[in-house]
């Protein structure tokens, strides 16, 4: 329970910081290619606290083959919300080996928490419906950096 509280508190603190000056999508993130089955994903990497805080905020659209992978230093029961995020997304909470633990559909511009069902270090956000259209579900395995040994 303490881990859940810590993760939510961290996101609330990050969410309360002044991102108003930003108000434009971040576009200079490092990228990598991930795959799930035969499907390729051009993935932006959010690795620092600031990159994770801004995430996909302020974007009006995202190409269907693209996503954003949030990488955390330690596993915890991470929770995400959609403050200042304009497009509907699905978050895949992912174990260290690339296995999807759970999927959560998230509505734009809300502060409703969507949480991992067990401790994870990775969260992949894709356009809402992408996982369902590709038949990707909990238990599916994502490969590529950082999941490769």
| Maximum Cα–Cα distance across the chain | 40
Count of structural domains within the chain: 1
Assess whether pLDDT exceeds 90 at residue 149. no
144 lies in some domain? no
Distance from C-alpha of 74 to C-alpha of 37, rounded to nearest angstrom: 27
* pLDDT score at 69: 98
Give me the domain span that covers residue 23: 2-133
3-state secondary structure of 13: helix
Outline where 1-149 has alpha helix (H): 2-16, 49-54, 130-133
Q: What is the pLDDT of residues 73-132, one digit of tens each?
A: 999 999 999 999 999 999 999 999 999 999 999 999 999 999 999 999 999 999 999 999
140 lies in some domain? no
26 lies in some domain? yes
71 lies in some domain? yes
31 lies in some domain? yes
CATH number at 74 reads 2.60.120.1140
142 lies in some domain? no
Assess whether pLDDT exceeds 80 at residue 27. no
143 lies in some domain? no
Distance from C-alpha of 86 to C-alpha of 95, rounded to nearest angstrom: 27
Distance from C-alpha of 41 to C-alpha of 56, rounded to nearest angstrom: 16
Does the pTM surpass 0.75? The reply is yes
139 lies in some domain? no
């Amino acid at each position: 329970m303490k881990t859940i509280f810590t993760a939510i508190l961290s996101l609330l603190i990050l969410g309360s910081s002044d991102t108003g000056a930003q108000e434009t999508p971040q576009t200079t993130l490092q990228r990598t290619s991930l795959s799930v089955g035969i499907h390729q994903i051009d993935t932006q990497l959010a690795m620092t606290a600031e990159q994770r805080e801004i995430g996909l905020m302020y974007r009006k659209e995202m190409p269907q083959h693209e996503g954003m992978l949030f990488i955390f230093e330690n596993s915890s029961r991470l929770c995400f919300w959609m403050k200042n995020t304009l497009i509907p997304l699905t978050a895949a909470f992912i174990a260290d080996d690339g296995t999807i633990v759970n999927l959560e559909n998230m509505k734009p511009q809300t502060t409703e928490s969507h949480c991992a069902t067990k401790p994870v270090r990775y969260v992949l956000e894709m356009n809402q419906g992408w996982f369902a259209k590709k038949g990707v579900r909990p238990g599916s395995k994502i490969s590529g950096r950082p999941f490769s040994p």
